[in-house]
Amino acid sequence: MANLPLRLRASRTTLTTLEILVADPPAIANLLEEQARRAPDLFRYMPVVIDVTAVEDRLAPEELTQLIQVIEEAGLRPAAIHATADSLLTAIHALHLGQISLSGERPAATESPATDGAPEPPQATPAPPTGTGIGKVVTQPVRSGQQIYAQGTDLIVLAPVSAGAEILADGHIHVYGPLRGRALAGVHGDTRARIFCTHLEAELVSIAGQYKISEDLQATQWKQPAQIRLDEEKLVVAAL
């Protein structure tokens, strides 16, 4: 038994979930394209779970196929679909994707892997990005034209971030050095994310999509230690 070529192991992997709120493939394609233009490396080959539970009652199988197509064209790699409606099952299988249900109920599929009565492995529940992992630490200067993304975690930079450079994180961003480039925290929509820096001189700061450009940052803490957080959809710059 010891030399089996594989083994089954229950594991827990954090995946980003794309929640479909309106089943409108062209609109979704536009939105993804715009995001990909702003941060070209962000989406490239990123595995995602597509959650269609909000729209599945009205979603035709061919619409689902179309939806997956535009998501793949944006560079993302759908790994599984979160759906509970039986009507979509054939389409999901035809797309060679897995089906999962995040609320813990068994998938409607009958051919689920036999586990010989063993307890069901925990479902891959996407945890909120902030707080997972110990953060990505960068010690080299981030130069103009470079882009660094801390996926699913915080980003800590111990060197200058030059004008024309871009740093992104799903969690918080800390910069111990001049921040002269662009810093985008909570890029997957976590409004709790914050930006901390010892020398604020940024071209742009953004939290969960709310941004301010350097012109609007001059008033408070410019070239000084600062923290930036989101307070009811408004970016607040304060002394550190």
Partner 1 sequence: MSTIITVTSGKGGVGKTTTSASIASGLAKAGHKTVVIDFDVGLRNLDLIMNCERRVVYDFVNVINNEATLNQALIKDKHCPDLYILPASQTRDKDALTKEGVERVLNELGERFEYIVCDSPAGIEHGALMALYYADEAIVVTNPEVSSVRDSDRILGILQSKSRRAELGLDPVKEHLLLTRYNPERVEKGEMLAVNDVLDILAIPLLGVIPESKAVLTASNQGVPVIHDVESDAGQAYEDAVARLLGEDRPLRFTEVEKKGFLKRVFGGRA
DSSP letters spanning 50-86: EE-TTTTTT--HHHHHHHHHHHHHTT-EEEEEE---G
Q: For residue 68, give the nearest of 110, 15, 32 by alpha carbon.
A: 32
> How far is C-alpha 105 from the geometric centre of its chain's CA atoms?
25
163 binds partner 1 (CB under 8 A): yes
> Quick one: which of 14, 69, 146, 191 contacts partner 1 (CB under 8 A)?
146
- Binders in 57-116 for partner 1, by CB under 8 A: none
Q: How far is the CB of 141 from partner 1 (least distance, A)?
A: 6
The answer to whether the beta carbons of residues 108 and 129 sit under 8 Å apart is no
Contacts of residue 84, defined as CB under 8 A and 6 or more positions apart, other chains included, come to: 53, 56, 101, 105, 108
The CA distance from 111 to 144, in Å, is: 52
Contacts of residue 96, defined as CB under 8 A and 6 or more positions apart, other chains included, come to: none
180 binds partner 1 (CB under 8 A): yes
Select from 48-56, 112-120, 143-151, 208-216 the region that touches partner 1 (CB under 8 A).
143-151
144 binds partner 1 (CB under 8 A): yes
Sign, CA dihedral 75-81-87-91, equals: positive
210 binds partner 1 (CB under 8 A): no
- Binders in 123-142 for partner 1, by CB under 8 A: 140-142
Beta bridge partners of 18: 50
> Quick one: which of 36, 48, 85, 159 contacts partner 1 (CB under 8 A)?
159
Count Cβ atoms below 10 Å from residue 38 Cβ, excluding itself.
Answer: 14
Select from 21-29, 57-65, 157-165, 182-190 the region that touches partner 1 (CB under 8 A).
157-165
Q: How far is the CB of 77 from partner 1 (least distance, A)?
A: 24
162 binds partner 1 (CB under 8 A): yes
Q: How far is the CB of 225 from partner 1 (least distance, A)?
A: 17
> Quick one: which of 131, 145, 189, 225 contacts partner 1 (CB under 8 A)?
145
> Quick one: which of 152, 160, 171, 186 contacts partner 1 (CB under 8 A)?
160
Residues engaged in binding partner 1 (CB under 8 A): 140-146, 159-160, 162-165, 178, 180
